[in-house]
Structure 1
Amino acid sequence: MSRLVALALIILVMKLSPAGAAVSPVKISYTLTFPEAQAHYIDVEMTLTGLKQPTLDLKMPVWTPGSYLVREFAKNVESLTATANGKTVTAPKVSKNTWRISTAGVSTVVVKYKLYAFEVSVRTAFVDITHGFVSTSGVLLFPKGMLDQPSTIKIVPYKDWTTVSTSLEMVGGDQFTRSAPNYDILYDSPIEVGYQDVFSFDVAGVKYDVAMYGGGNYDKERLETDMSKIITAEANVFGENPNKHYTFIVHNRQRGGGGLEHLSSTVLGASRDQYGSERGYQGFLSLVAHEHFHLWNVKRLRPIALGPFDYENENYTTNLWIAEGFTAYYQNIILRHAGIASTEDYLADAVGDINIVENQPGTKVQPLAEASFDAWIKSYRPNENSYNTQISYYDKGAVIGMLLDLDIINATKGKSSLNDVMKYMYTTYYKGKKRGYTDAEFKAGFEKFAGKNLDDFYAKYINGLDPIDYNKYLGFAGYKITDQLAQGNDPSLGISTAAQGNKRVISMVLRGGAGWVSGLNVGDELVSVDGTPVTDYTTILNGKKVGDKIVVTVSRDGKAYNIPVVLQRNPRIQYKIEEVPSPTAQQLAVRAKWLKL
């Protein structure tokens, strides 16, 4: 037999054999109902057909992308049952987030469970009689090994709920039936269902839906105008808007805040009455700008560790200072570039970030790259000493973004800016290489446009703890920074306190401060100072000066302690950005490029 004939026979056998046959994908569907919305439950029915395996493991993610904390969503699952061929089959739990079903000889399995949803946040599911917020990564189980499989989601609304808001595509024009091409898209597409107020507009051919839950004193026309400006300015950074449609889900509450980005949508928390003041309104627009900017930065242009996701474990990266910090920088500079915020408004926001960083003792303890890496164990789990040991990759990342922007503009005499770096990285890695970037690759991107090596910058400010030379970088634009409290000599205990009923209790002790040195503790109730009862905390140091020795009486675990304290100077910094006298033409050119003057 010739080699050619033998090869032909082998290929024919492969085509005819089961191993060589095309494998039909498993069909996956979910039905969500809310029969006990008043008790905060979602009833989930999951159907899988076309199974050809002896066992099926169903898993619940332990975290949601964009929020770097293991939240253990499986804790909310109750009463999971499974049936096959009309008969109940066992579905034992084999790990904290895994249920195992025997499927030998079974092609279809129906799984039902109840999920408790009563945590108010932009990242967790919440249901009551007014609406259902389905944060899909914490609600829907996935079959092991099938993250690339499509699924459909049918929503059966509670009573008078009329509207579904999500970025998931409709099936057959039915708003209550949606589809996802894979689990990465499904878990990146939250669903709002209820009777939310929805308004829509187009920006350069992209449809935007804004779903407002909870009411509020917002002006739709003004929001449409200003949100359109923000969207346009951000798309200009990257050269395109990759979406066909995008959904803002806004939860307006008595007090609200925060946001969580998604590929083609975002969830925002707001206070329903904040739109009535300019400060509150611009604060909301800043949140819009932040979360919408993420559709490029982190959802597409991303650290290599953040995708494909491991939904069962931490996904570590040292680059959240770019993913989140730069987005925090852009959330304010974009308002200036869009003509919404004045130069004074922007500079006030910029110096606000600087003041946060410089007043936090943790900035001298935790490098920025380490803050990114340790987000999983520190950022979302602060304790009474976090202020002394950590720095936010949001705040310091925003400051670093500003420094690099100014450095690039100055080095290129206004030819390039941080915008060019972001567009280059997006085009090269997301669109070209179709993967995330490494730390070294983003550093190379900075260097490409700055035209110089940034080893020293990284050693000092990203991986190190050197004090930042603000005047060097602000000086490029003809500004300087000055401490308005530099000449102050007010005494300080170096503590923060909180009211607990009629008591005043220490909530934080500042590293190196008078309280830290003398041994005041978090949890101590302040009873008296030099024998005078503490009735008004703001006046307890009246008449005192730096260097004075006082006796603070505290109640600790039910016992009184008299603690001698030597008062120190209040170390608080209050920077202000000011124009340098007689800025040069080069400085004015940098300023004009930076602030779009």
Structure 2
Amino acid sequence: MSHSLHYQIRFDDKNHHCYNVQLSVPAHSGTKMILSLPAWIPGSYMIRDFAKNIVQLNANDDAGEALDVIALDKQRWQVMSSGQAFTLEYQVYAFDTSVRTAYLDNERAFFNGTSLFLQVEGFEDQPHRVTVDGQSAGAGWKVATGLPRLPGTDKYDFGDYQADNYAHLIDCPMEISDFDAIEFSVFGVPHHMILSGRHYADKDRLAKDVTKLCEHHIRLFSGKQAPQAPFDEYWFLTNILPQSFGGLEHKNSTALLCSTFDFPNPNKPEETSDNYQTLLSLIAHEYFHAWNVCRIKPKEFIPYQLDQESHTEQLWAYEGFTSYYDDFSLYRAGIIGFEDYLKLLSKTLTRVFRGQGETKQSVTQSSFYAWTKFYKQAEDAPDNIVSYYTKGAMIALWLDLSLRLESQGTISMDDMMRGLWREFGQKGVGTAPQDFIDMVRSLAGDKLAKELTELLYQAERLDLTALLGKVGVKLQKLRASLTSPTTIDEQRRCHPGFTFKPHAKGLEVTTVAEGSPAALAGINAEDVIIAVDTMAVSTDNLALVLDHQPQDASIPVHLFRDNVLKQMNLVLSQTPPNAIALEAKDPALANLWQQVIEE
């Protein structure tokens, strides 16, 4: 008697954006069976209630007789099966282009298992077979997934796939469309870059650069050992839309979202545009996660509890360390120069420096409250929270430089990552916050371990000026452009203290900085500013209007709040430093920083 579950996926209702799923459950003990969908997906820390997208759900026994299906709560159902085998048929509505859920139309299908595959209680550790039906697919569609293929199903084919267990099943998203496939090998491991959507990419250049990044990561975690990846193949499942960006990590794949013109231009083979750098950083980030969070992970995630929030104080290490290495690896791999890397690093430091959240929330608190404060940010976010991505990356930079300087260049952050991989990732043991502190102590002693503890648990500014100076990099705190918080504009005398976006009537305020001229004037988020100093304003001329005002002038601001016209008086003041600029002063010292130190 088979003990495996069998899912069959059809696309008959693709014009209605509904997957048709049939689940065959073998005979089992007990009179009833509990089925459920996860409430969240690993790597994206917010309750998403995937079960809300199930449209119909019916069960029948082998004789075709209907079985009672009882809803227990928002994500669980009970099937009165009497222990006999039964078949469940259900539809899943899928119209989300993000990397987290599922999408289906007549041109493309994509899904994460957390959106499509009902979990059957008692069968979680059994094999899960999936048949992807090609008869109902769109013209030219192929299948791309890290899910293992069964004999008789070739790469890119419709047919039969199988996961070792439910956790494995939901960790392998599928991209199904008439995509472009770029194949390349990294240390003997097949890699697949899947491009779904309109693009003009220089595919040879893309494969060459991504290969460099993958080689960097594999070498980093392998140390002096022969380069070895923790997977047998890897898939970059890339959906291309006019204006999109994002990624979600999995053990042997990643789902990526990018824009049409983020790729290298075949007509400009020497150019590495800002958009392309951003895409490569995203790719490097998600690939690094194959080690750091997919295998090295917090103890709270072993195993994942996907029916409710799973709080951890450690996301600063998993997202922060990864965010440090993503941009850094572009430089180390030779894709960008040091000056370009410093520009990327400046943007990271500026994102933390420009807000007050760093002084109100520690990175451990930021990690713990990811489910609400970070993933459900309100307009007060810059003033009251700090990102565990960016502040975590700053701590990784601090740690890397400190380890190198304390050891006279013999120990680095690379040793930290290899130690985490060896002691936790390869052994399947989860980390606790103290494990990072203890590892730093073993590498560099009590002093650095104590300093790390303070950085993790205190809400204070982390000033890297002196530390960067020791590796030949000058850090300056300057004024940013009014329209771009990461662009330096030292000519700017005043900044109103609000961010904005275009509005049909003028400018809609999105955030107001604490203590700024705008806050003191009583301007709120969601106000629509139509005039400053009686001049109609837009994204094009606001800076010009403000630049022509005398220092400390009190100028009228006319705005709509809840469709009621109001006037505020804005008193302009000198813009405080709100951006970070980095400059290489000693290339020889900087070169010591970027070296890969092997064990």
TM-score by length of 1: 0.91
Q: Find 1:115's aligned residue among 77, 92, 100.
A: 92
Preserved CA contact (<8 Å) 2:254 2:287: yes
1:468-527 Cα distance to aligned partner (Å, 9 max, x none): 221222123122211243976612321122222133222211111111122111222224
Structure 1 spans left out of the alignment, 5+ residues? 1-23
Residue matched to 1:453: 447
Match of 1:500 in 2: 503
Query: Aligned residue for 1:405?
Result: 400
User: CA 1:155–1:170 in structure 2 vs 1: closer, same or farther (change >3 Å)?
Assistant: same
The separation in 1 between residues aligned to 2:420 and 2:119, in whole angstroms, is 32
Q: Which residue of 41, 47, 51 corresponds with 1:74?
A: 51
Equivalent residue, structure 1, for 2:231 = 243
Match of 1:17 in 2: none
Match of 2:287 in 1: 292
Paired residue type of 1:264: N
Deviation at 1:405, TM superposition (A): 0.5
**What residue in structure 2 maps to residue 199 of structure 1?**
182
Write the distance in 2 (CA, Å) between the matches of 1:80 and 1:444.
50
Mapped to 1, the partners of 2:299 and 2:594 lie a distance apart of: 34
Distance change >3 Å, CA 55–CA 419, structure 1 → 2 = same
Give CA deviations for 1:410-447 in whole Å, capped at 9, x if unaligned.
Answer: 11111111111111111111223x21111101211122
> Which of 214, 218, 237 is the aligned partner of 2:197?
214
Q: How much has 1:261 moved relative to structure 2?
A: 0.4
Q: Select the structure of larger CA radius of gyration.
A: 1
What's the secondary structure of 1:540's corresponding residue?
helix
Shift of 1:196: 1.3
1:255 to 209, 231, 243: 243
Change (3 A) 1:83 1:405: same
Supply the distance in 1 between the matched residues of 2:343 and 2:361 (Cα, whole angstroms). 26
Match of 1:510 among 513, 521, 530: 513
- Larger mean CA deviation between 501-510 and 438-447 belongs to 501-510
- Aligned 1:166-185 pairs, distance under 5 A: 166-174=145-153, 175=157, 176-185=159-168
2:460 paired residue among 443, 460, 466 = 466
Q: SS at the partner of 1:47?
A: strand
Counterpart of 2:340, as a letter, is D
Correspondence for 2:5 among 17, 28, 45: 28
Q: Which of 365, 388, 391 is the equivalent residue of 2:383?
A: 388
Shift of 1:533: 4.4
Q: What do you get for the CA RMSD once the two structures are aligned?
A: 2.1
Where 1:188 maps in the other structure, the secondary structure is coil
The one of 522, 525, 530 equivalent to 2:525 is 522
What displacement does 1:302 show? 1.0
Select 1:443's aligned residue among 432, 437, 442: 437
Of the three residues 348, 357, 363, the one matched with 1:362 is 357
Please give the TM-score of this superposition, normalised by the length of structure 2.
Answer: 0.90
Counterpart AA for 1:319: Q
Question: What is the deviation of 1:272?
Answer: 2.0
Deviates most, 353-362 or 483-492? 483-492
Which residue identity is paired with 1:213? S
Which range moved further: 225-234 or 481-490?
Answer: 481-490
User: What is the letter of the counterpart of residue 148 of structure 2?
Assistant: E
Q: Note if contact 1:526-1:554 (Cα within 8 Å) is conserved in structure 2.
A: yes
Deviation at 1:566, TM superposition (A): 2.2
Separation in 2, partners of 1:527, 1:484:
29
Whole-angstrom CA distance in 2 between matches of 1:281 and 1:231:
16
Cα distance in structure 1, aligned partners of 2:297 and 2:178: 35
Specify the alignment match of 2:333 in structure 1: 338
Q: Does 1:93 align with 2:81?
A: no
Give 3-state SS (helix, strand or coil) of 1:207's partner.
Answer: strand
Q: Secondary structure at the match of 1:402?
A: helix
Distance 1:72 1:514, change over 3 A: same
Identity of aligned residues (%): 29
Q: In the TM superposition, what is the alpha-carbon distance from 1:25 to its structure 2 partner? A: 7.1
Q: Report the alpha carbon displacement of residue 575 of structure 1 after superposing the two structures with TM.
A: 2.3
Indicate if the aligned counterparts of 1:45 and 1:111 stay in contact, CA closer than 8 A. Answer: yes
SS of 1:137's equivalent in the other structure is helix
Correspondence 1:223 to 2:206: yes
Q: CA deviation at 1:164?
A: 0.9
**More moved, 488-497 vs 75-84:** 488-497
Are the equivalent residues in 2 in contact too, given 1:170–1:178 (CA < 8 A)? yes
When residues 459 and 181 of structure 1 are mapped into structure 2, their CA distance, relative to the original with a 3 A threshold, is closer
User: Which residue matches 1:558?
Assistant: 563
**Is residue 60 of structure 2 the alignment partner of residue 83 of structure 1?**
yes
Give the counterpart of 2:15 among 38, 45, 51.
38
CA contact (8 A) 2:404 2:411 kept: yes
* Structure 1 residue 588: Cα displacement: 5.9
Q: Residue deviations 1:376-412, cap 9 Å, x none?
A: 1122212222122111111111111111111111111
Report Cα offsets for 1:42-83 as digits up to 9, x if no partner: 011111002111211100101110111110101100111111
Contact 1:484-1:574 at 8 Å conserved across structures: yes
Distance 1:471 1:531 in 2: 42
Question: CA 1:489 to 1:152, structure 2 compared with 1: closer, same or farther past 3 Å?
Answer: closer
Q: What is the letter of the counterpart of residue 547 of structure 1?
A: D
Change (3 A) 1:589 1:534: closer
SS at match of 2:101: coil
Separation in structure 2 between the aligned mates of residue 137 and residue 400 of structure 1, nearest angstrom: 33
Aligned length: 568
Residue 303 to residue 333, structure 1, CA distance change in 2 (3 Å): same
| Equivalent residue, structure 1, for 2:487 | none
The secondary structure found in structure 1 opposite 2:200 is: coil
Larger mean CA deviation between 280-289 and 560-569 belongs to: 560-569
Instruction: Supply the distance in 1 between the matched residues of 2:235 and 2:322 (Cα, whole angstroms).
Output: 19
- Alpha-carbon offset, residue 84 of structure 1: 1.3
Partners in 1 of 2:462 and 2:391 — Cα distance?
10
Question: Which whole-Å CA distance do the structure 1 matches of 2:127 and 2:172 have between them?
Answer: 14
* Alpha-carbon distance in 1 for matches of 2:331, 2:544: 41
